[in-house]
Amino acid sequence: MVGNGGREHALLWKLRQDAPSAEFWATRPNPGMTPLAKAVDLAPEDVDGLTAWVEGNEPTLTVIGPEVPLASGLADALRKRSLPVFGPTAGAARIESSKAFAKELMVKVGVATAGHRTFTRWPQAEAYISDVGGPVVVKASGLAAGKGAIVCPSTEEALDAARSMLTAESFGPAGSEIVVEEFMEGEELSVFGITDGRHVVLLLPTQDYKRIGEGDTGPNTGGMGACAPVPIADPEMIEEVRRSVFLPVLDGLENGATPFRGLLYAGLMITDEGPKVVEFNCRFGDPETQALLPLMESSLLDLMLPVARGGSIEGATCAWRPGAALNTVLASEGYPGSYEKDKEIQIPENLAEADGIEIFHAGTRQEDGRLLTNGGRVLSVVGVGADLEEARDRSLFAADRVEFEGKTLRRDIGWRAWASRARATGS
């Protein structure tokens, strides 16, 4: 397992269930992953070091969790050596590492998305934004840890955002190219597809809550929580997404000599005109994965292995347990801005064993027997129940019992699901 965050903890947890007798390794595992895997003392971004380690140890499967090693070509290096790897090539990963590339691809293959323009120079961006006015969304084209999209209600805010990226380098190289796109109204939806490049198995739709503040206020984060299933995502809608989003994009990537094998994530806006793509990711989403996998009844490993070995998943399906899951992220005070680390974390011993509760570690570390904060997003506290209400209650019950100085959370994860259900029933 390449990676050591909440997503990778959840993936490791699920794969151990699928193959309980297997031996697992993980790159510098966080304290939650440590009991599940042997440590490999290499950074997830160390492409050369990891390539040499995998070549020397020949695991049955390498799973690449984060986007940076994918964009840096780790999957390419392993495939070149005929080593089974789950994750796309760097060329295919451009669908996330370059928002400009993703937009061009969607226009080319006819996938619905927001109208947009791409800029690398401030004067041109300034003229365009001044002409179209707000609201718009200004995005750093490169990888920005989920924080590179700024919703700008006014022209002045859009100019400030574009200026900060192109001239003040607020996002570093990721913001040297920006995408300015129209603001879309609707409800967001995350859909994951495991794909061999031609066939795709769509997983249970989830909903991510990006803003730091309740009621979806404040700056974007990597994600403050997620829930599944999502009331608006009926089977007919998901089939439409498969036909009108996933299959054309996969065809376009294959025709461009960059076939995509791995997990393709479509972030959608469900508008009055139908689903439109907000963004693509080239890997499992975080925090959605932590809410998704506790509901997965069938084997994830059985889907990953043929993809990693260059085979086909034509005709494959997924089975899901009834009920719902909701993930409340516990973050450090100040996140997504600057925050302090090394705050001691107290997790009641019986909490992780409680019925319907799973705790996945992200920004944590251990020192002298103490569990300490080590990142902006610290823990994912997942509740699983018969419905979203029970899942939320269990998640918040556990979240309230975890203690560390500056603990920050949203208590309204799932609110859009309840709001859309209320609209549908007229209540």
45-75 residue pLDDT tens: 999 999 999 999 999 999 999 999 999 999 9
Q: How far is CA 328 from CA 46, 240, 360, in A?
A: 31, 30, 11
Distance in angstroms (rounded) separating the CA atoms of residues 231 and 238: 12
84 vs 142 pLDDT, higher one: 84
* pLDDT tier at 427, thresholds 50, 70, 90: low
Structural domains in the chain, CATH included, are: 6-89 (3.40.50.20), 121-176 (3.30.1490.20)
The structure tokens listed for 121 are 């120079």
What's the pLDDT tens digit per position in 98-134?
999 999 999 999 999 999 999 999 999 999 999 999 8
Summarised one tens digit per residue, pLDDT across range 190-227 is: 999 999 999 999 999 999 999 999 999 998 899 999 99
- Asked if residues 119 and 161 have their Cβ atoms less than 8 Å apart, the reply is no
Q: How many Cα atoms within 13 Å fall on the side-chain side of residue 62?
A: 33
Structure tokens at 91: 């060329």
pLDDT, position 147: 73
Can you give the pLDDT at residue 137? 92
Q: How far is CA 57 from CA 53, 60, 86, in A?
A: 6, 9, 17
Distance, CA of 272 to CA of 277 (rounded, Å)? 13
* 426 torsion bin: left (phi>0), alpha (psi -120 to 50), beta (else): left
